Chain A
Amino acid sequence: MTHDPHAGLTALLPRLFAFGLTMLGDADAARDLVQEAAARALAATRVPDEAPAYRAWMFRIARNAALDEIRRKQQTVAADHTPVDLWHYDDRRIAKITVDQGLATLAPPHREIISLIDIAGFSYGEAAELLGVPAGTIMSRIARARSALLAAIEASSIQPLKSRHG
């Protein structure tokens, strides 16, 4: 029986797509990104053997492709929102629609760390290895990114619908 080093690729595609979508903010671009990342991976001569390493390797490929795309598009600088007071935040504002809109206004590094931790599901250690930084840096980056996202949500003009009771 031959070992297929890409056996786990199909299972990774949804998370890779979600990562691409958060990074690029466009479904078509995210689809192209994943397709391109998969093509690069399948053409590679050296492929990590173990599942966690393979997953990190795939995301590294997707991340590089996303950063290339962001550079190519020369996307506009992210909006600078007023910092929020987390201790008294009205979290009724947090909903899928406001989160999506907020993510789209964040700077790429914020979008990246939120994608890796909350969407791709990497641990701090795994994300640190993937980005080549200490785990402590991931801890502060995710905290900053979430604060920025909360600020973006608060700055948004969209109000989630109130749920009806009774």
Chain B
Amino acid sequence: MADDPKDHDLLRLNALVDGELAPTERADVAARLAVNRDLARAYATLARLKASVAEGVAETPAFVLPKRRRYTIRRVAAAAASLAAVIGLGLWALDTHNAKRGDTVVSAEGPTAITLASLPAGTNIPRLDTAGLKLVGLTIGPGRVPLVTATYRGPHGCRLDLRAWPAGAAEAPPLPGTASARWTAGGLTYELTAHGMPKWRFALIAEGAKEQTRSGTDPLRAEQRLRQANNGPPPCVG
């Protein structure tokens, strides 16, 4: 590139703009700039270009960094203590205007029914409304894997499936999806599966859901994750 004298100047002008010239060379180029109009103009163009590129840095979205693995074992008892509150939280997410018969709630979009009394101990059904996702279905299968399956839907076609089964028990059969997250809390293995959702949004929602299933975590933090997930363009279409 530097065979042509102009090419050599071009390299040096770029280096000058980037502050990469040694002091003596910088002084030499500066002296030439003072007397060579074309060179000065080219320098101004490069400086303006560099400034415009740097200025073009877009507003950074919020990021939630994944947690590093912790080596603490949470007590099942602690999870059990949060059971009552969390069951209430999960069921609150169901549309309370839906038909209720005894302790059975029918979801808005399907015939799926749940029996409150049969929810397994330690099961936490996260509420994802803040992220724009409504709990539309919840099934339980006592003695089966998965023990609990919850379905969430958003207004733009997003769908999430949450499954839970006793930690250490046989694995639930694989569920197809575009992304999934798995964690253990309160003696249960949880698995959240997305269908067609951007990965960044899913990561935030999974973090929020995880927070809610664990005892002793800050509910505001979960809320923050879910709110961040709801920012930006529609998550899913179709």
Contact = CB atoms under 8 A, between A and B. Distances in A.
Contacts of B15: 124, 139
A13 B60 contact: yes
Given A27-B61, A34-B63, A143 B11 contact: yes
Given A14-B57, A87-B6, A38 B49 contact: no
A63 B55 CA distance: 21
Residue of A18, A27, A43, A146 with most partner-chain B CB within 10 A: A146
Given A14-B60, A38-B66, A32 B199 contact: yes
A123 interface: yes
Interface string B35-58: 000110110111011101111111
Contacts of B7: 143
A37 B156 CA distance: 28
Nearest to B235: A28
Given A103-B53, A114-B53, A36 B46 contact: no
A140 B10 CA distance: 9
B23 interface: no
Contact of A91 (B14, B44, B56): B44
B14 A35 contact: no
A95 B56 CA distance: 9
Interface string A110-144: 00001001110001100000000000000110111
B203 interface: yes
Interface string B192-209: 000000111001000000
A86 B45 contact: yes
Contact of A139 (B14, B53, B54, B67): B14
B45 A28 contact: no
A140 B200 contact: no
B1 A140 contact: yes
A39 B199 CA distance: 12
Contacts, number: 117
Contacts of B53: 99, 103, 114, 118-119, 149
Given A35-B63, A87-B41, A143 B49 contact: no
Q: 8 closest pairs, A vs B, by CB?
A: A14-B60, A118-B53, A87-B38, A18-B57, A91-B45, A143-B14, A31-B200, A99-B52
Given A17-B58, A142-B14, 8 more contacts: A17-B60, A31-B61, A32-B199, A32-B200, A35-B203, A94-B52, A124-B20, A142-B18
26 contacts: A10-B65, A13-B63, A15-B57, A17-B58, A17-B60, A27-B61, A32-B199, A34-B63, A35-B63, A35-B203, A38-B63, A42-B65, A42-B68, A43-B68, A86-B10, A87-B39, A87-B42, A91-B48, A99-B52, A99-B53, A114-B53, A119-B53, A139-B14, A139-B15, A146-B50, A149-B49
